[in-house]
């Protein structure tokens, strides 16, 4: 099965992608993860992406598109794939469509996870990570037990620069102006499956499964 996950930042796309990957046995292709890894490694691509990510702006198409195409050519994408975080714009979607046509990897479903803006702000601004192992917690929903990470670290946990309220609200503005039009783009192809993203991860996953005919 070939899928795209859509939704605003903080909608839970990454969590649902991990569950679907196990169910469908296809790789998750997350451009956000790939770009963050490049940024952490200090590569030219990562440093270029950092300038945009810290402002809550979209990384330019030319930085992302080639990276995704190369990933789709990998052997593990033969049985299918799940794109998480790409495409973000209609221009990217049009480029992806041409790429998929050439590779004979047409889309089956575009899953749209919908969550209220204020819920998203609370979710993202409360995230903290362990500076030692990188595990992510939430100050309200999933704090480290007794202030100690599973790796044993005890101390201050870190908020990413792009997880502040100001940046989150800017990211939401960017999403509605540039990414939300993808719903119309794929809707015209009868590919969009809308899922309400509130509830526990298990509850949302059952909705996602049902939306793509797994139940």
Give rounded-to-5 percent helix, strand, coil for the chain: 50, 15, 35
User: Hey, what are 103's tokens?
Assistant: 């590779």
User: How far is residue 86's CA from residue 83's CA, in Å, rounded to a whole number?
Assistant: 6
Rounded CA separation 77/109 (Å): 16
Q: 115 near 195, Cβ under 8 Å?
A: no
Catalytic center residues: 13, 88, 127, 160, 171
Question: Which token pair is 188?
Answer: 């015209």
């Amino acid at each position: 099965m070939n899928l795209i996950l859509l939704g605003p930042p903080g909608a839970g796309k990454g969590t649902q992608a991990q569950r679907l990957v196990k169910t469908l046995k296809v790789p998750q292709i997350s451009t956000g993860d790939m770009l963050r890894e490049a940024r952490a490694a200090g590569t030219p691509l990562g440093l270029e992406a950092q300038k945009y990510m810290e402002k809550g702006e979209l990384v330019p198409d030319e930085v992302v598109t080639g990276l995704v195409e190369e990933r789709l050519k990998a052997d593990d994408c033969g049985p299918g794939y799940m794109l998480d975080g790409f495409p973000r714009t209609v221009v990217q979607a049009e480029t992806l469509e041409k790429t998929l046509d050439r590779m004979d990897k047409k889309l089956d479903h575009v899953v749209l996870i919908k969550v209220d803006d204020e819920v998203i702000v609370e979710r993202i601004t409360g995230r903290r990570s362990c500076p030692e192992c990188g595990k992510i917690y939430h100050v309200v929903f999933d704090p480290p037990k007794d202030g100690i990470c599973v790796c044993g670290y005890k101390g201050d946990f870190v908020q990413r620069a792009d997880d502040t309220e100001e940046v989150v609200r800017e990211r939401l503005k960017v999403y509605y102006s540039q990414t939300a039009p993808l719903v119309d783009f794929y809707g015209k192809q009868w590919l969009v499956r809308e899922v309400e993203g509130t509830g526990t991860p298990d509850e949302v996953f059952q909705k996602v499964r049902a939306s793509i005919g797994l139940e």
